[in-house]
């Protein structure tokens, strides 16, 4: 134990504070090692993933948070690098709950063209830029929900980030994702041609093999399309049967992974939830009975408001100048039902449909659609961490968690757009962009 530590603190300490100090002392025996510097970070406000605190400090050593407490009891360890920006807020690294690092906005290149005409090498080159933009926007973790025709390029990008080859967030990746035969796109080609699909087709017993194969190739989770726009008139309609979804989930769960579901219709959502899906993506038509089922099962809802807004605008809607089209009104309704029923709502914009690095758009829309800013901040940190089953690693400012931290100018609990101004980003104890240090 570093006996010098006790001299820095007032004598009159509660047991809790004392235990905290002991923990700090044990962990900070060598706090001047150049290989693993110690940081002492203060800000006007510190959001710990659940609550906002004034006059707190955080101590980071190497790639871990070792202490977070009021400044009066947590003083700067000798040799620590002090980080302080006036008028700022420190938060856990933000978590993007629904991304596609291999896609970019459809108003630049249509989804069909990205999937069918661009090589995996080209798409991977673009993705290296996308992940960098994501990290520099303050998002230190992302759950990527399907390569959309780029095979397992996401698994390799994740490895390149982990190996330190390129900067990017911690990734949970899906690989190809699973769709029912005949349901997914691109469509409209002569059936004699082999067309690269946006996900892997499987049905019936073959779902077991495909699920295992995707896991074997590096999927951290299994994504299924529980419905898709293949109804008689092009509307969303369920794809897999309940039994098929149960089969996928059984295989997925036995490997220690989770199944998540794209679903817009209530029937598809309910089948997916009953089969064990842990999150529902989009949920455009969410009604009260589905919301109640989600609440009961603890299923997390990712509304992807930004994707709906972006696609609707690509189709010509002038937001602010024209009335809201039905798709937007529907999304608003689904979002307010989920809120009123107490469904757990995560933050995931389906980024890729819109610009990587503009991830905060989803959070701004969540506020616009009626969620208080502090709750939105929670959604992008502690709620998402739990939804990704990473709550012991990220999403909180707590001793033992990874040193994934961001300082923003202003107070995002008052104005969520403050998150557009990251001043200092740390992931895994490394400050980005490193050249700014
Ligand atoms: Zn998506």
- DSSP for 4-62, please give it: GGGGGS-S---HHHHHHHHHHHHHTSS---TTS-EEEEE-SEEE-SS-EEESEEEEEET
CA of 350 to the centre of ligand 1 (A): 5
For residue 96, list its beta bridge partners: 142
Say how far apart CA 41 and CA 324 lie, in whole Å: 44
CA of 122 to the centre of ligand 1 (A): 20
The CATH code of domain 3-92+397-436 reads 2.30.40.10
For residue 46, list its beta bridge partners: 53, 90
Residue 5: per-residue pLDDT:
38
CA of 410 to the centre of ligand 1 (A): 31
CA of 223 to the centre of ligand 1 (A): 10
Say how far apart CA 17 and CA 85 lie, in whole Å: 26
CA of 4 to the centre of ligand 1 (A): 53
The domain ranges of the chain are 3-92+397-436, 94-387
Residue 34: per-residue pLDDT:
54
CA of 318 to the centre of ligand 1 (A): 23
CA of 304 to the centre of ligand 1 (A): 8
Q: Kindly give the confidence (pLDDT) of every residue in the chain, 437 residues in length, as a single tens digit, with 9 standing for 90 and above.
A: 343 333 333 334 454 554 454 444 444 444 444 578 999 999 999 999 999 999 999 999 999 999 999 999 999 999 999 999 999 999 999 999 999 999 999 999 999 999 999 999 999 999 999 999 999 999 999 999 999 999 999 999 999 999 999 999 999 999 999 999 999 999 999 999 999 999 999 999 999 999 999 999 999 999 999 999 999 999 999 999 999 999 999 999 999 999 999 999 999 999 999 999 999 999 999 999 999 999 999 999 999 999 999 999 999 999 999 999 999 999 999 999 999 999 999 999 999 999 999 999 999 999 999 999 999 999 999 999 999 999 999 999 999 999 999 999 999 999 999 999 999 999 999 999 754 44
146 backbone φψ class: left, alpha, beta (φ>0; ψ -120 to 50)? left
CA of 164 to the centre of ligand 1 (A): 26
CA of 99 to the centre of ligand 1 (A): 6
Residue 382: per-residue pLDDT:
98
CA of 182 to the centre of ligand 1 (A): 19
**Closest by alpha carbon to 156, among 206, 121, 184, 105?**
121
CA of 342 to the centre of ligand 1 (A): 24
Say how far apart CA 425 and CA 238 lie, in whole Å: 42
CA of 286 to the centre of ligand 1 (A): 17
| Token digits of residue 367 | 């506020």
CA of 260 to the centre of ligand 1 (A): 11
Contacts of 152 (CB under 8 A, 6+ apart): 175, 176, 217, 218
CA of 147 to the centre of ligand 1 (A): 10
Say how far apart CA 334 and CA 326 lie, in whole Å: 12
CA of 146 to the centre of ligand 1 (A): 7
CATH class of 94-387: alpha beta
CA of 323 to the centre of ligand 1 (A): 26
Residue 2: per-residue pLDDT:
40
CA of 349 to the centre of ligand 1 (A): 8
| Token digits of residue 77 | 């360890």
For residue 91, list its beta bridge partners: 406
Say how far apart CA 388 and CA 246 lie, in whole Å: 20
**Closest by alpha carbon to 181, among 208, 205, 209, 200?**
200
CA of 427 to the centre of ligand 1 (A): 25
């Amino acid at each position: 134990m570093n006996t010098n530590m006790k001299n820095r603190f007032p004598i009159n300490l509660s047991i809790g504070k004392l235990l905290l100090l002991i923990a700090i002392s044990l962990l900070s025996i060598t706090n001047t090692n150049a290989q693993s510097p110690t940081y002492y970070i203060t800000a006007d406000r510190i959001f710990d993933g659940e609550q906002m605190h004034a006059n707190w400090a955080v101590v980071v050593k190497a790639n871990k948070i070792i202490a977070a407490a009021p400044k009066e009891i947590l003083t700067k360890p000798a040799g620590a690098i002090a980080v302080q920006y006036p008028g700022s807020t420190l938060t856990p690294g933000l978590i993007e709950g629904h991304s596609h690092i291999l896609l970019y906005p459809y108003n630049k290149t249509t989804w069909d063209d990205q999937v069918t005409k661009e090589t995996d090498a080209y798409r991977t080159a673009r993705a290296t830029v996308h992940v960098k933009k994501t990290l520099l926007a303050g998002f230190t973790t992302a759950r990527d929900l399907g390569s959309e025709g780029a095979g397992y390029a996401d698994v390799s990008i994740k490895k390149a980030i982990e190996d330190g080859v390129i900067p990017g967030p911690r990734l949970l990746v899906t690989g190809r994702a699973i769709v029912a035969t005949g349901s997914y796109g691109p469509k409209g080609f002569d059936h004699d041609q082999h067309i690269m699909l946006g996900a892997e087709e499987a049905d019936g017993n073959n779902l077991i093999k495909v699920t295992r194969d995707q896991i074997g190739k590096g999927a951290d989770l299994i994504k299924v399309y529980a419905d898709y726009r293949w109804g008689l008139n092009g509307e969303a309609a369920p794809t897999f049967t309940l039994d098929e979804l149960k089969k996928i989930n059984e295989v997925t769960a036995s490997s220690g992974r989770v199944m998540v579901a794209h679903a817009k219709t209530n029937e598809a959502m309910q089948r997916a939830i009953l089969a064990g899906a842990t999150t529902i993506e989009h949920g455009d038509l969410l009604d009260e009975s589905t919301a109640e089922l989600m609440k009961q099962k603890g299923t997390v809802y990712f509304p992807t408001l930004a994707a709906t807004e972006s696609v609707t605008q690509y189709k010509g809607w002038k937001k602010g100048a024209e009335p809201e089209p039905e798709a937007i009104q529907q999304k608003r309704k689904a979002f307010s039902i989920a809120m009123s029923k107490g469904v757990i709502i995560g933050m995931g914009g389906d980024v890729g449909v819109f610009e990587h690095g503009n991830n905060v758009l989803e959070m701004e829309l969540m506020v616009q659609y009626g969620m208080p800013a502090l709750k939105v901040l929670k959604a992008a940190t502690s709620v998402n961490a739990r939804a990704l089953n990473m709550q012991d690693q990220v999403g909180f400012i707590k001793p033992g968690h990874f040193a994934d931290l961001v300082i923003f100018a202003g107070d995002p609990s008052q104005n969520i757009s403050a998150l557009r101004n990251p001043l200092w980003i740390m992931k895994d104890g490394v400050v980005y962009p490193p050249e700014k240090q």
